[in-house]
Amino acid sequence: MPFKALNLSPNILRGVQAAGYAEPTPIQLRAIPLVLGGGDVIGSAQTGTGKTAAFALPILTRLGVHGKTRVLVLEPTRELAAQVETAFRDFARFTDLRTVAIYGGVGYGNQRAELRRGVDIIVATPGRLMDYLKEGTLNLRDLNTLVLDEVDHMLDMGFLPVVKDIIGRCPRERQTLLFSATVPPEIQAIASFALRNPTRIEVGVNRTVNQSVNHALYPVGYAQKFDLLLALLEKTDFDSVLVFSRTKHGADKIARRLKAANHSVAVLHANRSQNQRMEALAGFKSGKYEVMVATDIAARGIDVAGVSHVINYDVPEKPEDYVHRIGRTGRAQAVGDAFTLVTPENAGDIRDIQRFIGAKIPELKLEGFPYGPFTPRPEQPPQAREGRHQAGQHPREEHNRRGGWNRFGGGGRRGRR
């Protein structure tokens, strides 16, 4: 079914065509008619499925002349707010509708000026938006549409109390749209508070790994993790690589060592300034940087079609984060590769991931790499340990308790990489 069959306005259809969209995705096919109908909607869909257009296109179609803030879209991160605001601008390029992105990490002056000039659509992070609501620069009395996007990540980041406060400042008579990859009980409570008789749509199975992604485990001793990362980069034909670290400190350390090895590297995590984050993301998209080292939260805003490889330098803490991470490659019918460096103390985490996705992940070895002993991470003070190890429990004890090292189900096969 083409976009023109979805009752979008002519100017918005022109924007869709100019943006290069051909046919609607499943989430767009299901959500657009519901949003156009004016009812509340709960949508479960992964990042990269066309979710933004699923709410932006019908919202823009329903808007008339500009001048008052009638749409508010809440996003968990600065990068997502900027990305979604850009999408609204692109789709509305043949209209007079005005959109602004509101987020922290930059000065207040330009944002205040935009708000006072009058906008139709605000895309905002909760904290900075609340600043403007409290100081009186902004009010929401003319609001008719509220979008709560990536709500599961707002929960992860502790934003839900602020989000509840913002919802309480919105008119009771409004359309509310909630989008989240998952809807745990905490989010269901928000939905009960914010939405009225919503229609629930679910697209895709959030536990499933994209079939266009080839993913594999690379077992290695802790002391050789970085050496194996370098070797993978040297022996892999890649366009751009996204490397995941569990911590901000770890991301900085990996980036420094990669730069010392003459790789062009950008870093993305919460301690970077907004200008640094924007420059890093723009440089990664343009090809200035071949490698981006990021933490999970910061990477929520990365939407780069050309990411050919994802490397999990650290195994993610949550199984669902594995799906999110490797979903950053293999998009738009392209083929991608996802490698996970696994040390002995990660055995239990890998089992959890494989149970979550319902599949065994192949276990490979890099040909020609001088593997040493598969030693675990050295003992650390309890406050310095990462992951789920309890204070006083050595990673080796966790490894032994969960039943040993080389039993992920991949069979120890050697790969071509």
pLDDT score of 237? 84
Confidence tier at 379 by pLDDT (50, 70, 90): low
pLDDT score of 302? 62
pLDDT score of 399? 33
Are 25 and 174 part of one and the same domain?
yes
pLDDT score of 28? 93
> Mean pLDDT, the chain, as a whole number?
83
104 touches 274 (CB < 8 A)? yes
Percent of the chain with pLDDT over 70: 82
Are 95 and 137 part of one and the same domain?
yes
pLDDT score of 249? 93
121: pLDDT strictly greater than 60:
yes
Are 128 and 174 part of one and the same domain?
yes
DSSP label at residue 199: E
Are 153 and 262 part of one and the same domain?
no
Cα separation, 319 vs 355, whole angstroms: 9
pLDDT score of 386? 41
pLDDT score of 346? 92
Asked whether residue 152 is domain-assigned, the answer is yes
Asked whether residue 327 is domain-assigned, the answer is yes
146: pLDDT strictly greater than 60:
yes
pLDDT score of 314? 95
Are 307 and 188 part of one and the same domain?
no
The 10s digit of each residue's pLDDT in 220-262 is 999 999 999 999 999 988 888 999 999 999 999 999 999 999 9
pLDDT score of 20? 83
DSSP label at residue 361: P
Are 233 and 362 part of one and the same domain?
yes
Total count of domains within the chain: 2
Which helix (H) or strand (E) segment is 186 a member of? helix 185-194
The 10s digit of each residue's pLDDT in 257-304 is 999 999 999 998 878 877 888 888 889 888 899 999 998 766 665 666
Give the range among 25-34, 93-102, 203-212 with minimum mean pLDDT.
203-212
* Alpha carbon of residue 132 to chain centroid: 26
Asked whether residue 406 is domain-assigned, the answer is no
0.75 exceeded by pTM = no
Which region holds residue 315: left if phi is over 0, alpha if psi is between -120 and 50, else beta? beta
Asked whether residue 21 is domain-assigned, the answer is yes
What average pLDDT does this structure show over 303-323? 83
Q: Which domain holds residue 308?
A: 213-401
Are 73 and 139 part of one and the same domain?
yes
Higher-confidence position of 196 and 274: 196
140 touches 163 (CB < 8 A)? no
Are 198 and 217 part of one and the same domain?
no
Are 142 and 249 part of one and the same domain?
no
- Residue 347's CATH number: 3.40.50.300
212: pLDDT strictly greater than 90:
no
Higher-confidence position of 9 and 414: 9
Torsion of CA 201, 328, 295, 358, to 10 degrees: 70
Asked whether residue 332 is domain-assigned, the answer is yes
Strand partners, 148: 74, 178
pLDDT score of 330? 54
Are 352 and 228 part of one and the same domain?
yes
Are 217 and 196 part of one and the same domain?
no
pLDDT score of 277? 80
Are 267 and 382 part of one and the same domain?
yes
Asked whether residue 337 is domain-assigned, the answer is yes
Half-sphere exposure (Cβ direction) of 260: Cα atoms closer than 13 Å: 8
404: pLDDT strictly greater than 50:
no
Among 173, 202, 231, give the residue marking a domain's end.
202
